[in-house]
Amino acid sequence: MTILRRLPLHPEWALGFLSLCVALSLPLLVQSYWLHVFTIGYFYAILASSWALLAGTAGQFSLGHMAFMAIGGYTSGVLGRFFGLPPLAGILVGTLAAGLVGWVIGALCLRFKASYLALFTIAFSEILRMLIRGEPQITRGDHGLHVAPLFGDVISRVPYYYTMLLFLLLCLLLMYWLTSTRVGLFLRAIREDEEAAAARGVDVVRYKVLAFVLTSMIAGLAGTLFAHYVAILTPNIMIIPQMGLVIAMAVIGGVESLVAAALGAVLIEVSLEALREFEAWRLVIFGALLVITLRFARNGLLAPVFQRLLRAGPRAESRERVVADGA
Amino acid sequence: MELEVEHLTKRFGGIVALNGVSLRLSGNERVGLIGPNGSGKSTLVNTIAGIYEPDGGKIHLNGQDIGHLKPNQVLGRGLGRTFQVPRAFRRMTVMENLMVPALAIRPERGRQAWESRAREVLDFLTMDHLRNDYARSLSGGQQKLVELGQLLMTDPDLLLLDEPFAGVHPQLMETIFDFITTLHQQGKAFIIISHDMTSIFTLSERLLVLNSGEIIADGPPEAVKSDEAVIQAYLGEEAEDA
Amino acid sequence: MSYFWSLGATGVTMGVLYALMALGLTLIFSILRVINFAHGEFYMLGGYASYFILNAFTGLHPLLVIPLAGLATALLGLVFELAFLRPMHQGRIERPDEYAVLITFGLSFFLLNLALALFGPYPHRPPSFFEGTIDLGIVRLSADRLTASVMALILLGLLLLLINRTWLGKALRAVSQDKQAAAVVGINSLVMNSAAFAMGAGLAAMAGALLAPSFFVTPDVGAVPSIRSYVIIVLGGMGSIQGSILGGLLIGLVESLGVGYFPDPSRALNYKTAFGLVIFALVLLFRPRGLFGRKEA
């Protein structure tokens, strides 16, 4: 522990590195079934961490994140169905499509405060779901849209596992890099006090839209990866309780820490599988945990653990005071 | 520095908060803005600073029309403002608070350069030892200093200070006082809103009196003090309270 | 042309039920300044409550259970409000705006899954209020649907009476207009918050209980009504009682006419709530205060 204390590392990254080692060697350690679980876990981790960036860093508590994920997946799937677009190209196009819609939604939401933003994005998500269900000639609706698997006839789950892991790491790196630049500073200022941020020179419009575009692209990317992995899409991937699950993951992990949110997602997904015998009660447990965490541990359950285990930097003391207050 | 406000009007629903306000500031004038409660002082500051869109009239800074600019753009043109209740970014450190406007207005200067500049500014405000503390752990007065530090980073020509002395510890008041006088000597102009008559009279070379959205007096403090209209405005308010 | 009137009548009869539920949501917003994202789950719990009460006490007439279901859910709402919302109004929660959104959304997630765990995914159906169908000339409705509408109308009337003629109603209105002024005259806003939240939950629950015999009860039965309630309160104006009532009737009509005149009947039903949602998005973008809402400075 003392060695770690001397390293000038940001606390979360050290633990992240350890997790990375475990993650890379997982196919050697577990069966195919658990590889699937972790792959889905990484999928949720991409969603949870990008939502954490949008909400926890930039302060935009959108309830429409799953819609962007669905846009990514369905764009690729539909284009594949009608034009034979290959999966790789589909991933690119799906991601861009989600980003484009994210740009529009972000621009529309500029004036909205917390409650109105939540309402508008929930409405957007439901309208989209209705469209997907209502136009089966395009999307196959509830029957399910068959999507070409990314690795064709390969039966093994290993390549999919590493692909999802790779993109999770790339997204985390990208988002983390962004938050370390002045953009991250501006986004946090916007969350703290939007009007004061503007008075202090921050182009609030530009950065709010940027947050939406980037996070919706990442969600869209997750959607395409999911689609080309499980090879079938239904509108059920974007029902409101799914959004609730992602929020639970991000909040329980720690909504202000991208890595904590990602880890929270993986942990919860794995727990959900491990607790299979509890069936419907599993989600009840996490639902209760979500509400309790919100009330008593705003910073999440995982994030403070990192900060306490690996004290680094002069800020730690005052930061701990803030954490202890349950800010 | 040249600020020209012409016939500025601002309405909120049926209420006329500013009714054709005109004023001119140049060089490094120190102007006090006073008036009874609800006279429109904050609205005037907010409109000049870009939070509100004027319903009529013009605002020109150094010859350029800033009336329709957003607050961040107004800061970019050299006009900074503080808030009545200090609005530092609570869960960011003092250093980060200062870095925000610096990187927002002149990002090309680079983080390193701005960080050393920030430390100079904090030194000047005797707050360097607090640079890594979260703003929320500071007192109200210290948060006001943080706001002033933020302004200083962007080197504005004109500073609008909204109640800089309200609720401030006497010792900190001195620091704020020094801040204003030093910057004035460096050539910066001020518009200061304050209810604290003693400070305002000491600091200002010129007083603007606002009442019900209109300027009823504009001149040296001594002259304004004995102005009939001004006395009426304040007495009138007192009479209503009685 | 009679098709139009038939649709209109259907729309209005559903509209009063929508209004009842939306009124609960608007009451909560107007007093607590919080959007209850779990409103649909209260609706759902009302349905389950009526089912289980009638299951336990088979002698009771289903209509009598409505207020009981409302009361049970109101109590649940009260407990939640005391534990999770009161601290917000006591200044013990940082960034309350974010918290408000997340905590009720979290409650929704919790209640939905709790119902799924406790009651399973298969529909439950409480016994009918009355059997058969009633022919009103322009439209034929099941006795259950008609009973639900009439009861909703009565409950709306009682609620309006409560709000306009009783001390509680006055106190609620006072708090919704100016908390501090209300405090000065001795009204404890924290108590009013709890009362409003409980009442709001109860109203949603009663709407759910009234419609349970017609539409059955599943854990996610509240999902669509909750979205619809958001649409109504935004359209009517958040915090406005007349807005919720008028909005409820309007949305009822919009849905009925929209489905009735939709070019492709096979897809019409799927898009039922879409019409309201489009109106909702437009209102949010162009006239956020809705029909009767206050203009926020």
Across the range B190-195, mean pLDDT stands at 91
Q: Is the pLDDT of residue B152 over 80?
A: yes
**pLDDT tens for residues A130-187?**
999 989 999 999 999 999 999 998 989 999 999 999 999 999 999 999 999 999 999 9
Structure tokens at A112: 């909205």
A142 inside 8 A of chain B by CB: no
Query: How far off is chain C from A65, nearest CA to CA, in Å?
Result: 14
Q: Is the pLDDT of residue B166 over 90?
A: no
Which pLDDT score is estimated for C70? Answer: 96
> Is A197–B83 a contact, with Cβ atoms under 8 angstroms apart?
no
Helix axes A302-309, A240-253, angle to 10 degrees: 20
Q: Which phi and psi (to 5°) does residue B26 adopt?
A: -145, 165
Over pLDDT 90: what percentage of chain C? 67
pLDDT-based confidence at A77, cuts 50/70/90? very high
- Of the candidates C109, C227, C267, the beta carbon closest to that of A244 is on C109
Q: Is the pLDDT of residue C279 over 60?
A: yes
Query: How far off is chain B from A321, nearest CA to CA, in Å?
Result: 9
CA closest to B132 among chain A residues: A315
> Is A321–B137 a contact, with Cβ atoms under 8 angstroms apart?
yes
Q: Which phi and psi (to 5°) does residue C124 adopt?
A: -110, 145
Across the range B13-17, mean pLDDT stands at 87
Query: How far off is chain C from A239, nearest CA to CA, in Å?
Result: 10
> Is A198–B70 a contact, with Cβ atoms under 8 angstroms apart?
yes
**Do the beta carbons of residue A299 and residue A327 sit within 8 Å?**
yes
Containing B217, the helix (H) or strand (E) segment is: strand B214-219
Containing B211, the helix (H) or strand (E) segment is: strand B206-211
Kindly report the average pLDDT of chain A as a whole number. 90
**Do the beta carbons of residue C275 and residue C253 sit within 8 Å?**
no
Across the range A288-299, mean pLDDT stands at 94
Residues 217-246 (C) with a CB less than 8 A from some CB of A: 220, 223, 227, 230-231, 234
**pLDDT tens for residues A85-103?**
999 999 999 999 999 999 9
Nearest to B101 by CA among B130, B123, B80: B80
Sign of the Cα torsion C115, C117, C118, C124 reads positive
Residues 81-110 (A) with a CB less than 8 A from some CB of C: 108
**Distance (Å, whole) CA A104 – CA C285:** 13
**pLDDT tens for residues C103-154?**
999 999 999 999 999 999 999 999 888 888 888 777 888 889 999 999 999 9
Across the range A254-275, mean pLDDT stands at 94
> Is A63–C230 a contact, with Cβ atoms under 8 angstroms apart?
no
Q: Is the pLDDT of residue A314 over 60?
A: no
CA closest to B105 among chain A residues: A201
**pLDDT tens for residues A12-58?**
566 667 878 889 999 888 888 999 999 999 999 999 999 999 999 99
pLDDT-based confidence at B231, cuts 50/70/90? confident
> Is B19 buried (19+), middle (13-18) or exposed (0-12) by CB count in 10 A?
middle
Nearest to C76 by CA among C112, C46, C34: C46
**pLDDT tens for residues C202-260?**
999 999 999 999 998 999 999 999 999 999 999 999 889 999 999 999 999 999 999 88
Q: Is the pLDDT of residue B134 over 90?
A: yes
Number of CB pairs < 8 Å for A and C? 125
Q: What is the ipTM of this complex?
A: 0.91
Which pLDDT score is estimated for A327? Answer: 40
Which pLDDT score is estimated for A6? Answer: 54
Report chain B residues whose CB lies below 8 A from the CB of A207.
none
Which pLDDT score is estimated for C264? Answer: 83
pLDDT-based confidence at A324, cuts 50/70/90? very low
Report chain B residues whose CB lies below 8 A from the CB of A197.
89, 100
> Is B100–A193 a contact, with Cβ atoms under 8 angstroms apart?
no
CA closest to C83 among chain A residues: A295
Kindly report the average pLDDT of chain C as a whole number. 92
pLDDT-based confidence at A316, cuts 50/70/90? very low
Query: How far off is chain A from B24, nearest CA to CA, in Å?
Result: 22
Which pLDDT score is estimated for C262? Answer: 85
> Is A185–B134 a contact, with Cβ atoms under 8 angstroms apart?
no
DSSP letter string, B76-105: HTTEEE--SS----TTSBHHHHHHHHHHHH
Report chain A residues whose CB lies below 8 A from the CB of B93.
315, 318
- Of the candidates B51, B99, B111, the beta carbon closest to that of A195 is on B51
Which of A200, A203, A307 would best serve as a mutation to test chain B binding (most B beta carbons within 10 A)? A200
**pLDDT tens for residues A185-228?**
999 999 999 999 999 999 999 999 999 999 999 999 999 999 99
Q: Is the pLDDT of residue A313 over 50?
A: no
Residues 28-47 (C) with a CB less than 8 A from some CB of A: 34-35, 37
Report chain C residues whose CB lies below 8 A from the CB of A245.
109
Across the range A231-239, mean pLDDT stands at 95
Sign of the Cα torsion B68, B69, B70, B75 reads negative
Q: Is the pLDDT of residue A2 over 70?
A: no
- Of the candidates A189, A192, A200, the beta carbon closest to that of B75 is on A200
Q: Is the pLDDT of residue C186 over 90?
A: no
pTM of the model: 0.91
Q: Is the pLDDT of residue A326 over 60?
A: no
Touching subunits for chain C (3+ Cβ pairs under 8 A): A
C267 inside 8 A of chain A by CB: yes
Residues in CB range of C277: below 8 A, 6 or more apart? A123, A126, A127, A130, C227, C231
Report chain A residues whose CB lies below 8 A from the CB of C91.
none
**Distance (Å, whole) CA A39 – CA A41:** 5
> Is A185–B99 a contact, with Cβ atoms under 8 angstroms apart?
yes
**Distance (Å, whole) CA A224 – CA A288:** 31
- How far CA A281 is from CA of A147, A270, A271, A286, C262, in Å, comes to 32, 15, 12, 9, 41
Report chain A residues whose CB lies below 8 A from the CB of C83.
295
Largest CA distance in chain A: 62
Number of CB pairs < 8 Å for A and B? 89
Which pLDDT score is estimated for A9? Answer: 59
> Is A196–B88 a contact, with Cβ atoms under 8 angstroms apart?
yes
**Distance (Å, whole) CA A272 – CA A244:** 15
- Of the candidates C84, C98, C270, the beta carbon closest to that of A114 is on C98
C279 inside 8 A of chain A by CB: no
Ordered domains of chain A (ranges, CATH): 10-317 (1.10.3470)
C135 inside 8 A of chain A by CB: no
